[in-house]
């Protein structure tokens, strides 16, 4: 269908303009889908030519080097695709932007692909994080309105080259918004796989020394994976859940814990939070490793959470707090605190007179 196929006489000019714009967008999306299908078919056939194992170059495994939270310890790998996910307002984007500032302070460039905030709010956050004028001059903010076409890729490469520093990190906020702008469905595995090839993997192939960090959200019924297709988790090299423990806001200081849930290279410990992010209250943001006491407490809390989930899953339905305490064997205080946190995080439901249960599937 084209703009010439519809008679809009008799409608006001604003309505006519809106209809014509919608038709143009649909035409563009259809053409883009056809181009993507051809490109995927070409790449798929070429990928089956194979390579002998003896011809694969040897390389030493690289440790994480982006976003240092302690001397010699960092969160993200150069050349890898990482996902930061968590509930809304858990400080995921703050964490990602800290990684950008971390790289600019080392003389590298940062690229922020923003679908949610707007360039003015992105700059404000970077300044709150301590980005200097020199740091800001090495950070490129892109606000796309559409998929990453061939012409868009050319313009992006030119813009990054113009920054004049090697690219150290790319932050995309957020995954679902990026999928939506490309007319792709985050619930469909085939669409997510297409997006991963078109955006994160293309970025890493173009700038192999950069880390790619995508910000994502959690569904209402689970906190240990991003919302949408399981392909999101399968495609990532690293995944981190960000959980706010004390609210971070302009008038009060709080903190979030960042825990790895996937690490293909195997250098990160899944059993406890990797670091904490402190910020708000008009004071500088900072990331730091947990103390031994904090780490032990977080590990114990995580183990108790897992045990509570196991009991609720085995018993099904509502379980009273008294029965839960007896089943998991923890102290009344520790069980009450962990249950309260799980309710706040949306991991379980609580009702007066009934107890707690796992959320019912939607």
Average pLDDT, the chain: 87
Statement to judge: residues 109 and 255 lie in one domain: yes
Number of folded domains in the chain?
3
For residue 303, what pLDDT band results from cuts at 50, 70 and 90?
A: confident
Statement to judge: residues 145 and 258 lie in one domain: yes
Q: Specify the higher pLDDT residue, 176 or 34.
A: 176
Statement to judge: residues 220 and 184 lie in one domain: yes
Q: What is the CA radius of gyration of the chain?
A: 23
Burial of 90 (0-12, 13-18, 19+ CB in 10 A): buried
Statement to judge: residues 111 and 194 lie in one domain: yes
Position 57 in a domain: no
For 1, 66, 108, 342, the CA distances from 284, given in Å and listed in that order, are 55, 19, 22, 29
Q: Which of 172, 173, 197 is nearest to 184 (CA)?
A: 197
pLDDT by residue (tens digit) across 76-95?
999 999 999 988 889 999 99
How far apart CA 316 and CA 306 sit, in angstroms, is 15
Position 52 in a domain: no
Contact 101, 135 (CB under 8 A): yes
Tell me the sheet residues that pair with 73. 70
Statement to judge: residues 150 and 235 lie in one domain: yes
Position 313 in a domain: yes
Mean pLDDT of 21-37: 61
Statement to judge: residues 170 and 78 lie in one domain: yes
**From 14-23, 208-217, 326-335, the region with the lowest mean pLDDT:** 14-23
Determine how β-strand 109-114 pairs with β-strand 139-142.
parallel
CA geometry: angle at 104 spanning 252 and 257, to 5°? 40
**Domain around 4:** 1-46
Position 61 in a domain: no
H-type alpha helices, the chain: 13-46, 92-104, 119-128, 133-137, 150-163, 175-181, 189-198, 200-206, 231-235, 292-315, 321-328, 332-344
Q: What is the pLDDT of residue 35?
A: 62
Q: Which of 240, 271, 290 is the last residue of a domain?
A: 290
**From 21-25, 82-86, 244-248, the region with the lowest mean pLDDT:** 21-25
Per the structure block, which two tokens stand in for 122? Answer: 């992105």
Statement to judge: residues 149 and 280 lie in one domain: yes
């Amino acid at each position: 269908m084209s703009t010439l196929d519809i008679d809009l006489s008799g409608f006001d000019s604003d309505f006519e303009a809106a209809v014509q714009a919608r038709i143009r967008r649909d035409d563009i999306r259809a053409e883009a889908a056809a181009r993507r299908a051809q490109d995927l078919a070409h790449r798929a056939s070429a990928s089956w030519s194979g390579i002998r194992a003896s011809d694969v170059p040897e390389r030493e495994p690289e440790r994480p080097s982006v976003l240092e939270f302690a001397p010699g310890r960092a969160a993200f790998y150069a050349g890898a695709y990482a996902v930061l996910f968590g509930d809304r307002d858990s400080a995921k984007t703050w964490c990602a932007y800290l990684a950008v500032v971390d790289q600019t302070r080392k003389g590298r460039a940062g690229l922020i692909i923003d679908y949610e905030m707007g360039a003015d709010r992105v700059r404000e956050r970077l300044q709150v994080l301590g980005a200097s004028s020199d740091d800001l001059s090495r950070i490129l903010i892109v606000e796309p309105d559409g998929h990453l076409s061939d012409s868009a890729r050319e313009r992006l490469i030119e813009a990054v080259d113009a920054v004049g520093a090697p690219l150290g990190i790319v932050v995309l906020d957020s995954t679902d918004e990026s999928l939506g702008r490309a007319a792709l469905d985050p619930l469909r595995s085939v669409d997510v796989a297409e997006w991963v090839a078109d955006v994160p993997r293309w970025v890493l192939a173009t700038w192999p020394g950069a880390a790619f960090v995508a910000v994502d959200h959690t569904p209402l019924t689970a906190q240990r994976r991003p919302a949408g297709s399981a392909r999101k988790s399968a495609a990532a090299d690293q995944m981190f859940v960000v959980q706010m423990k004390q609210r971070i806001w302009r008038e009060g200081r709080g903190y979030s814990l960042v825990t790895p849930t996937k690490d293909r290279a195997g250098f990160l410990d899944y059993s406890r939070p990797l670091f904490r992010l402190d910020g708000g209250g008009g004071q500088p943001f900072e990331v730091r490793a947990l103390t031994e006491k904090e780490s032990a407490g977080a590990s114990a809390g995580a183990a108790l959470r897992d045990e509570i989930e196991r009991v609720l899953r085995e018993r099904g339905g509502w379980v009273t707090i008294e029965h839960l305490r007896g089943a998991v064997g923890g102290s009344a205080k520790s069980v009450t605190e962990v249950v309260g946190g799980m309710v706040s995080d949306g991991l379980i439901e609580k009702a007066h007179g009934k107890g707690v249960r796992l959320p019912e599937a939607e």
